[in-house]
Amino acid sequence: MITNIKIPFRDRSQKNSHNKCRQIRSWLTKALSKSFNVDAEWVQRHVMNCPRCQRRLAGIGKVELALSMAKSQSHQLDLLMRANTQAIGVLKHSLRKMPKAEKLRTAAPEPKLSERCCKYNRPVTNVAACIAILFLMKVGIFSSANAFQSHGQKALRQYYVSHVGEELTNDIFTT
């Protein structure tokens, strides 16, 4: 049994050295990706003159296009089951008959909670919009009514002050 395992303390110089190494690796990665990228000038010149590389890059482009199209299209829930059936069909006959293969053949994904609840999105959104409209109407109408009332009282008070006098106006508006 091992006892007294000591973990060396890392001082600041080792930590700074570690950060420097990480920074240098980052720079190297960026430099290499620029030099050996498909968009690099020397790669483009070679591809223009090499039919074999042109076919390979075209194939890669077709695969990328197919993958992007597969990601953008919605799939039915039986896609997993169909893919598993095709994959099992490639296996040896003895493996195709195993219980695990049968489970794979009938496996179907469980839809995410968001997918299960998506049929309720529109009604919930409509109810939320109605509640928001009602709230805004209530706040807007009552605040406007209070403003109209206070402006109306001020106008009437001014009218009575100018025609009847301050004392009589105070008696009318305080009771």
| Averaged pLDDT in 10-residue chunks for the chain of 175 residues | 48 65 79 70 82 81 71 64 78 79 75 77 87 79 74 86 86 77
Regarding whether 128 and 100 lie in a shared domain, the answer is: no
Residues 84 and 117 in one domain: no
pLDDT score at 70: 64
How much helix, strand and coil, in percent to the nearest 5, is found in the chain? 80, 0, 20
Residue-wise pLDDT for 12-36, tens only, equals: 555 667 778 888 877 877 776 666 6
Residue-level pLDDT at 7: 46
pLDDT at 77: 62
Task: Say what the pLDDT of residue 39 is.
Answer: 73
Report in angstroms the alpha-carbon separations of 82 from 64, 75, 104, 162: 22, 11, 10, 90
pLDDT of residue 2: 45
Same domain, 86 and 101: yes
Same domain flag for 67 and 80: no
Residues 94 and 120 in one domain: no
Residue partners of 41: CB distance under 8 A and separation at least 6: none
pLDDT for res 75 = 60
| Residue pointed to by tokens 């600041």 | 12
pLDDT at 14: 59
Handedness of CA 57, 58, 60, 64 (dihedral sign): positive
**Domains in the chain: how many in total?**
3
Domain encompassing residue 33? 18-73
Q: How far, in Å, CA of 151 to CA of 4, rounded?
A: 85
What is the model's pLDDT at position 147? Answer: 78
pLDDT of residue 175: 62
C-alpha span between 33 and 23 (Å, rounded): 15
Domain co-membership, 133 together with 168: yes
The answer to whether residue 6 sits within a structural domain is no
Do 117 and 173 belong together in one domain? yes
